[in-house]
A and B are shown apart, each in its own frame.
Chain A
Amino acid sequence: MATLNAYLLVGAVLFVCGVICMATKRNGIGVLMGVELVLNGANVNFVAFSKFTSLGLDGQVFSLFIIVLAAAEAAVALAIALNFYNNHLTIDVDRGNKLKG
């Protein structure tokens, strides 16, 4: 029987993976995938907490919302990525370095 901590560990790993993905991927889509990982890391936590603690259904509801929101956000993010591509003819996020300082 997996314990709460095990789930939490999985969540944390997902979270960290996501962050690392965001920070290292040069491909815009890859970065967005990292975002999904981060969100889902939290999702795992919620579901685990709802199972093991008094949080109850709240956690599961929360995770549902997150999934929906992640979808919406992904849609927007993809649109923006597409726009970026239109302008830069690449999806390499490092090429977007005009704004700085």
Chain B
Amino acid sequence: MTETGELLRNLLMTAWLLPLAGFVVEIFFGFGLFSKNPRHSKGAAWCAVGCIGTGFVCSLIALLVWVNKTGGHDTYEADKGVEKGWMSVIADHNHGLHPHGDGEHAEHSEHEDGDKDHAAGGEQGHEAEGDTDSHDDKDAHAKPHNEEASIEGGEWQLASVTAEESEEHSETEDSRSAAEFPTAFSGRLYTLGEFGSLIVSLDYYIDSLTIVMFAMVTLIATCIHLFAIGYMSDELTDDYVDHFAHTSDGKHVHRPGRFYRFFAFLSLFCFSMLGLVLAGNIFQVFVFWELVGICSFLLIGFYTERKSASDAANKAFIMNRVGDFGFLIGLMVLWTYFGTFNFADINDEGQVTGGLFSMISRSTEGEDLGNVRVDEDGAVLITSPEGEVLQDADGNNRTIPYALLVVAGLGVFGGCIGKSAQFPLQTWLPDAMEGPTPVSALVHSATMVAAGVYLTGRFYPMFTAEVLLTIAYIGGITLFVAATIAIVATDIKKVLAYSTISQLGYMMLGLGVFGWAAGLLHLITHAFFKSLMFLCSGSVIHGCHHEQEMPKMGGLLKKMPITAICMLIGVLAIAGCPLFLGLHFSGYHSKDAIVASALAFSEKNPGHFLLFALPLITAGITSFYMFRLWFMTFWGKPRDQHVYDHAHESPWIMCVPLLILAPFAWLCAYGGDQGDLYVMLTKDAPAHIENGVTAVGDGVVLPEIQEMYNQHEAAGLWALTSAGIGFVLAFALYGMNLVNLDEMKKNLGAAHGFLANKWHFDDLYDGLFMRPAHKVAAFCAWVDRTIFDTTLHFLARLMVIIAQWDRIFDEKVVDGFVNLIASATGDFGERLRVFQTGRVRQYVMFIVVGVVILFAVVFSTFPG
């Protein structure tokens, strides 16, 4: 392990474990251990903020270290690395990516120091803004000047470190294997269980994606924690009146406030989420996958008194479990055929054990299926880190049937479907809005639901073309369905929820059409702008005294300008609005990248044209409903005077987070596919995305990355047009009120009803699964009572009836199976009792009869 690796590990682990410590402290707040009056103390909140804030600082340092270290070496290393598989891919990729960069090697060494500083400084400034908020604009404007150079340079430095790192890793990782994960650091935390050659452990895996995710999650989480201090402040009481929960006599529920508990749960969530990102093996991902699920359960159901909240929490968890069932199947397949869960190769005392990512090797040899190496039977070969085919104890090649590799991929993706609320498991997310708004912002828009996308990206090397196509279609369906529902939703949070689902669909689609970087870029940008919008909506709700229905709002721009402006930034970002000077809103870059990937894909595979059409159309729909939201809420005249009169701007502790997040939402993707963020993300992109996959038979063709870049302009234009139409429509309908909406609603009643009922998914699932499950359950219980207990009991009785025996044994003591034997033996015994007539003469007869019978038996069976 290199010093860098150790440093990164320690930083990220600190960031990861601090919230856990925070959780432990906070959960005990209620006992008054730390405060005399725990119900009134904000101590827990500050503790949580402190933990996650420190976590953010650690993550930031890690980011800087990563950039710094990877940028701190000479470029000749890159040339060396060209010869090595993964390395060369990256290098080539960079060449292809930046026409300007070609042949500029010589300059790089000169640029070295300055570039490094800038890359680091740029990021630092970037993040520092978040904390201070004051110089936001200045820095943002200042950046573009050095844009080109810094990007190129930084990127080259990043690339160059790959080989360098590989040398340094040699302590724990064979240099050869490390070469395949040049900028990735991996190692073991501790072993959970060891079974012969099989080891299940907790590991960490740090690469650019991990670090970016850490920075993103901790930053957003810090902001949301701050926001929540304000938002949840009405819980700081001994007698909280819950206006949404009623007792049977119609009164509101009174209960002590639970301020501290909310922050404890938030901290636990942060711990789980960061653990998920840091996880070094797929099993560990599953562990934290479940943990974020349970945190989501706890947070959705925070208002435990509300039936709707606990229902929503259950629904969320159980639907996630459905997805996890698939995940589990994937895990089983992987475990059985690969014998390891590790992403990266693990080096134990000189013995390199291959990780999953090096076990499926991609080559372009003739006999291969897709771009996976297969043997003559079509089974996928499992290879060592060195690329040699592994053999089992009997000397046979280790293989996994291709179909099972697909199953594994689909299984893992099944987990992602549940977690990221993709079709057909999307229905839990809107219900999850029952949780307090900060929860919606953190858990259900920015982080947890994006975990599915994250995992899909993380696990990309294991997905075959079929799986990717499935992912793309799932994403496509989801993004369209959710967007259409968002059109008619009136609850401000529900609109955002459907928007979240739709945007997650975008990401999935992006990943599915081989736009790996596009999908993940959208993950980051979406996290920023969606959390911003949720916080804004939270601010609105708080300002309007827990009114969530947009039809009762309107004209709030005057009352709460900061919120309105921040919201507008979010809306512009999600709509994908371009701006002058390259200051395009982040959504413009990320959505553009996705649409471009989709376009490239559908050009290669004309049969899958829908995969381009859906995101394109939906871009318009997105723009429409988001502007609808903004206009309905902030524009025009107040619709409900009462609400309007009492509305007020939120306190500073809630506004500051908005102001911190807004610039990120706007500019985090600055530079698009040449920007810092994008480049950093792609640093550790899976090797095979570079070249695409040539179809075998009727299979799909996956485009090369260059082809996607080529589509950027065209795609951007298409998307912009679509979004523009959406905006115009929204402005016409809601901004200028050109049409009577009620009329329209009436005229389009059927369609409206269909959408308002969320395409009837809930009803469908209720009929398909919930009721049958309860039926089966009731059946099992019935079987227990009936088959095992009563039926046999009945048989016992039948026996009695057949025998015409009129003294049915009627003991009421026992029933069931005991009763079977008891009454059967009892009945039989009773029948035997009849022989005991009590008459001595008959007894004597019985002696005779007995002797005669014995006599008969004797001489009928006599051996002689």
Contact = CB atoms under 8 A, between A and B. Distances in A.
B845 A94 contact: no
Contacts of A93: 839-841
A26 to B, nearest CB: 7
Interface in A14-31: 19, 22-26, 31
B833 A96 contact: no
B850 to A, nearest CB: 12
Interface in A53-101: 93-94, 96-101
A29 B352 CA distance: 103
Nearest to A24: B841
Nearest to A97: B838
For chain A, give the interface size range: 10 to 19
Interface string A37-58: 0000000000000000000000
B837 interface: yes
Contacts of B847: 19
A95 B841 CA distance: 11
Interface string B831-843: 0010011111110
Contact of B833 (A22, A97, A99, A101): A101
A96 B841 contact: no
Given A24-B841, A25-B841, A101 B836 contact: yes
B848 interface: yes
A26 B844 CA distance: 12
Contacts of B841: 22-26, 31, 93-94
A26 B837 CA distance: 15
Interface string B809-846: 00000000000000000000000010011111110110
Contact of B840 (A19, A96, A101): A96
B848 A19 contact: yes
A23 B838 contact: no
Main secondary structure, interface of B, reads helix
Contacts of A26: 841
Contacts of A24: 841
Contacts of A101: 833, 836, 838
B839 A23 contact: no
A98 B841 CA distance: 14
Contact of A23 (B833, B836, B845): B845
Contacts of A25: 841
A94 B844 CA distance: 12
Given A19-B848, A23-B845, A23-B848, A31 B837 contact: no
Contacts of A31: 840-841, 844
A19 B843 CA distance: 11
Nearest to B846: A23
B80 to A, nearest CB: 102
A101 to B, nearest CB: 5
B681 to A, nearest CB: 90
Interface residues of B, number: 12
Among A26, A31, A93, A100, the one with the most B-chain Cβ atoms within 10 Å of its Cβ is A100
Nearest to B838: A100
Contacts of A99: 838
A97 B845 CA distance: 16
B714 to A, nearest CB: 100
A97 to B, nearest CB: 4
Contacts of B848: 19, 23
B70 to A, nearest CB: 96
Given A19-B844, A19-B848, A94 B839 contact: yes
Contacts of B840: 31, 93, 96
A93 B844 CA distance: 12
Among B833, B837, B840, B848, the one with the most A-chain Cβ atoms within 10 Å of its Cβ is B840
B842 to A, nearest CB: 8
Contacts of A96: 838, 840
A26 B840 CA distance: 9
A80 to B, nearest CB: 11
Contacts of A23: 841-842, 844-845, 848
Contacts of B838: 96-101
Interface in B409-449: none
Interface in B242-270: none
A100 B836 contact: yes
B839 A97 contact: yes
B855 to A, nearest CB: 13
Contacts of B837: 97, 100
A67 B839 CA distance: 28
B69 to A, nearest CB: 96
A49 to B, nearest CB: 21
A93 to B, nearest CB: 5
A22 B841 CA distance: 7
Nearest to B841: A23
A23 B844 CA distance: 6
Interface in B499-532: none
B780 to A, nearest CB: 42
Contact of A22 (B836, B839, B844): B844
A68 B836 CA distance: 32
A85 to B, nearest CB: 15
Interface in B844-864: 844-845, 847-848
Contacts of A100: 836-839
Contacts of B844: 19, 22-23, 31
A36 to B, nearest CB: 14
A19 B841 CA distance: 10
A72 B438 CA distance: 106
A29 to B, nearest CB: 13
Contacts of B845: 23
A15 B114 CA distance: 131
Among B833, B836, B839, the one with the most A-chain Cβ atoms within 10 Å of its Cβ is B839
Contacts of A97: 837-839
Nearest to A34: B844
Nearest to B842: A23
Nearest to A25: B841
Contacts of B839: 93-94, 97, 100
A55 B386 CA distance: 102
Nearest to A100: B838
B831 to A, nearest CB: 11
Contacts of B842: 23
A100 B837 CA distance: 5
A62 B841 CA distance: 28
A20 to B, nearest CB: 9
A22 B848 CA distance: 11
A95 to B, nearest CB: 10
B136 to A, nearest CB: 100
Nearest to B834: A101
A47 B848 CA distance: 24
A37 to B, nearest CB: 12
A96 B839 CA distance: 7
B836 to A, nearest CB: 5
A96 B836 CA distance: 13
A25 B842 CA distance: 11
Interface in B545-574: none
A13 to B, nearest CB: 15
Nearest to B847: A19
Interface of B: 833, 836-842, 844-845, 847-848
Given A23-B845, A93-B839, A97-B839, 13 more contacts: A19-B847, A22-B841, A23-B841, A31-B844, A93-B840, A93-B841, A94-B839, A94-B841, A96-B840, A99-B838, A100-B837, A100-B838, A101-B836
Interface of A: 19, 22-26, 31, 93-94, 96-101
List the 10 closest A-B pairs by CB distance, nearest first.
A100-B838, A97-B838, A22-B844, A23-B844, A101-B833, A23-B845, A93-B840, A23-B841, A99-B838, A100-B836
10 contacts: A19-B848, A23-B842, A31-B841, A93-B839, A94-B841, A96-B840, A97-B837, A98-B838, A100-B838, A101-B833
